[in-house]
Amino acid sequence: MLCGAALCACAQVPEENPQIVAHRGYWKCEGGAQNSIASLSNAAALKVWGSEFDVWITADDTLVVNHDPTFHHRMIKDVPFADIKDLLLDNGEKISTVDQYLAKGTEYPDMQMVFEIKTYNDGVDTLYESRVVPACVETVKKYGLEKRTTFIAFSLTACKRVKELLPDAPVQYLNGDLSPKEVQAHGIDGIDYRYTVLHKHPEWVKEAHDLGMSVNCWTVNAPVYIQEMMDLGVDQITTNEPTLVRKFIAAGN
Ligand code: MG
């Protein structure tokens, strides 16, 4: 499959409903790798609404982009950045710092940065959360990306801390265990739930919308679930298959 970067970069970002979020960037193509700079660029070239990525902090306070808490068998939170900085992603890129990732993001002014703050032992290791959340917010501010960054996290504590530090930033809670009303009571303005949660609680989409909250869902790759989430009226679909979701949206319109 062609990478997004190989597609025409001249078209405007289409108005799509639901909006498409490329999960860990658009990486299911030649030269792609999850959470790589290439996957971010591929998502931008594909003209999707947003590109999601995962963030951890090292023992010496460097924010890095990676899904798992470990990278090449090293626990990111326990090692200095020097221990992992030359280790490679599947496409041969070195692991990105969030500085590098957001610097690249400034080149794509039409795309939302969907910034997942990963937490160790969600909501329990408050010391870790007290380090990682302010560092994430400060880095977004450093690159002037406050207005087009959506923060997401499984940790309710992390979500609330982002809202304290950056009240205008959209924040979507990931964990799926609270109703929209309960999430809003914590001052959080969106949900980003696994599609199985919305399958079980379809009424939560309307409840969220009635409360003025946004609804995102993950990770929706199979046609049956893409159609189901569209029929529920979610605002965003987070997917490893952005071109497939786009076909469904085009067919639905
Ligand atoms: Mg993620």
| Residue range 93-140, pLDDT digits in tens | 999 999 999 999 999 999 999 999 999 776 667 788 999 999 999 999
Q: Cα of 113 to ligand 1 centre, how many Å?
A: 12
Distance from the alpha carbon of residue 114 to the mean position of ligand 1, in angstroms: 9
C-alpha 24 – ligand 1 centre gap (Å): 6
The pair phi, psi for residue 102, each rounded to 5°, is: -70, -35
**What pTM, to 2 d.p., does this model score?**
0.95
pLDDT, one tens digit per residue, over 55-72 is 999 999 999 999 999 999
How far away, in angstroms, is 25 Cα from ligand 1 center? 10
Q: Distance, CA 101 to ligand 1 centroid (Å)? A: 15
User: Hey, what are 62's tokens?
Assistant: 């460097």
What is the 80 CA–ligand 1 centroid distance (Å)?
A: 22
Checking if the pLDDT of 7 tops 80, the result is: no
The pLDDT value recorded for residue 253 is 56
Helix and strand counts by DSSP (H, E) for the chain:
9, 11
Which domains are delineated in the chain?
19-252 (3.20.20.190)
- Which pair of tokens denotes residue 36? 């790589």
For 159-176, how does the pLDDT look when each residue is reduced to its tens digit (9 = 90+)?
999 999 999 999 999 999
Q: Which of 41, 61, 134 is nearest to 53 (CA)?
A: 41
Query: How far, in Å, from the CA of 165 to the mean position of ligand 1?
Result: 21
